[in-house]
Amino acid sequence: MTDFSVRYIVDDVDDAVDFYTRHLGFELVMKPGPGFAMLRRGGLRLLLNVPEGGGGAGQRLSGGQLPQPGGWNRFQLQVGDLDAVVEALHSGGVAFRGEVVEGRGGRQALALDPSGNPVELFQAYPA
């Protein structure tokens, strides 16, 4: 299997679609209603749902808990020049959680979608 999916709960599907297509190179695959959209970038399918927006992913759980955006789980997009990507996104009005972080294998920054879901932008150190 070459494709995999990540699901994010978002506050507004239209805002999220605009963010991911305009800033991060995703393409819209489908948006059958106001509460759901599917995007694609390479082998990644990004599924976007609003809370209580229809379908199973946005529904309230049996204990009453409602899915909500945010948190620390994220997917990673590898980039060639992290500083240039961060600068371009900052110029485009994209918010970040913190500054660029240096790690053992490379550098990363956490861009935030309009609902506060993080997307890790990662630049590996040269081998």
Kindly report, residue by residue over 37-80, the tens digit of the pLDDT: 999 999 999 999 999 876 778 888 888 888 889 888 999 999 99
Are 27 and 39 a contacting pair, CB within 8 Å?
yes
Q: Could you tell me the sign of the dihedral formed by the alpha carbons of 109, 90, 34, 61, in that order?
A: positive
80-107 average pLDDT score: 96
Render the burial of 30-65: b for 16+ CB within 10 Å, e for the rest: eeeeebbbbbbeeeebbbbbbbebeeebbeeeeeee
79-92 average pLDDT score: 98
Total-model pTM: 0.88
26-47 average pLDDT score: 95
Go through the domains of the chain in sequence order and give each one's CATH number: 4-52+68-124 (3.10.180.10)
CB-based contacts of 45, cutoff 8 Å, min separation 6 = 3, 4, 5, 6, 29, 38, 39
Q: Is the pLDDT of residue 2 over 60?
A: no
Q: Is the pLDDT of residue 1 over 50?
A: no
